[in-house]
Amino acid sequence: MRRLETSCRFHPGSDESAPLLLAIPGRAASPFDFLNFCKSISAGSGILAVSTPHSTGNGKTRSRDFADDLALTIRNALHAHGLTLVPMVVVGHAEGADAALDLIACHADAISAAIIINPTHTMRSPATNLDGIDVMLALTRGVGSADETALQIEKCLAEAGARVICERVPRSRVIRKRDELMARIFLSALFR
């Protein structure tokens, strides 16, 4: 298996008690806009901003390889910046949400909560129990395969023990104000 290069930039926060956010944008999202979204949902949080998951020739992301590389990148970034392990919240949108779900499935020990907005693929079963992980899941309202994907992700997380808050939202290739509001409320409930 070929390792993927995952670039990671650290944006320090001003509040040491705030969670550290791991920002994974989708391919259509502007990295700058996604970084601003993450800053707006948890003022004072430090942010690890990573590149968008790579795509294969057929348009599918290689998010499972990306998630494995991402777990290593997180640990290296924490070490490089002298950060202690504070609560880490992964925030993913579209293809970034797919990578975040794979990170949860394979490396749940690396995070304490997740904000998953409009994932594009189903989730594989987690390798470990997800007790103690809180997930805000914003899933596309849909019919047919879109609805089946949404139901599969919600069921997979809940059966593995995660506490899941699920909202049905219209599909969007960009982050909307309602996503910001839902994420801000979710984080304020977890980290008062």
pLDDT of 142 over the 70 cut? no
Residue 177 has pLDDT above 80, yes or no: yes
Q: With respect to residue 68, please indicate whether it lies within any of the assigned structural domains.
A: yes
- Full residue range of the structural domain in which residue 126 is found: 8-190
Residue 117 lies in a domain: yes
pLDDT band at 6 (very low <50, low <70, confident <90, very high): low
Tell me which of 31-35, 99-103, 173-177 is least confident.
173-177
Does 139 fall in a domain?
Answer: yes
Contact 25, 34 (CB under 8 A): yes
User: Band of the pLDDT at 144, cuts 50, 70, 90?
Assistant: low
pLDDT of residue 64: 65
CATH number for the domain that contains residue 59: 3.40.50.1820
This prediction has a pTM of 0.86
Total structural domains within the chain: 1
Is 1 inside a domain boundary? no
The pairing of beta strand 20-24 with beta strand 163-169: unpaired
Alpha helical stretches, state H, the chain: 31-41, 63-80, 95-107, 145-159, 177-190
Looking at residue 104, its pLDDT comes to: 93
